[in-house]
Amino acid sequence: MLDFRMNKSKYITLIFLAITVFFFIFFYSLLQRIDTYLKLKAMNDCALISRYQKDNPSDGTTVWYPVDEIYKKCVQEKGY
């Protein structure tokens, strides 16, 4: 006859396993978000360093954009 009852130690083991899996998933997703944040920050910083400004006198607008060579080199040096 099969006995499907679980004793206290098995419950504790299952709860510990579930908490461990939860923390691994939580920290993995946290590291992914941090990596994304650092990448976007590096791209923004490089774009600000190599900023080129162009004015349009006909309608009075100003446009800023990064210089391509400097931007790409900066992002590459930051590891992205």
CA distance 43 to 39: 6
Q: Look at residue 26 in the predicted model and tell me its pLDDT.
A: 97
Interval 51-72: pLDDT, tens: 888 888 889 899 888 888 999 9
Interval 13-26: pLDDT, tens: 999 999 999 999 99
Going by pLDDT thresholds of 50, 70 and 90, the confidence category of residue 43 is: very high
CA distance 7 to 13: 10
**Hey, is 70 helix, strand or coil?**
helix
Q: Look at residue 2 in the predicted model and tell me its pLDDT.
A: 52
Going by pLDDT thresholds of 50, 70 and 90, the confidence category of residue 50 is: confident
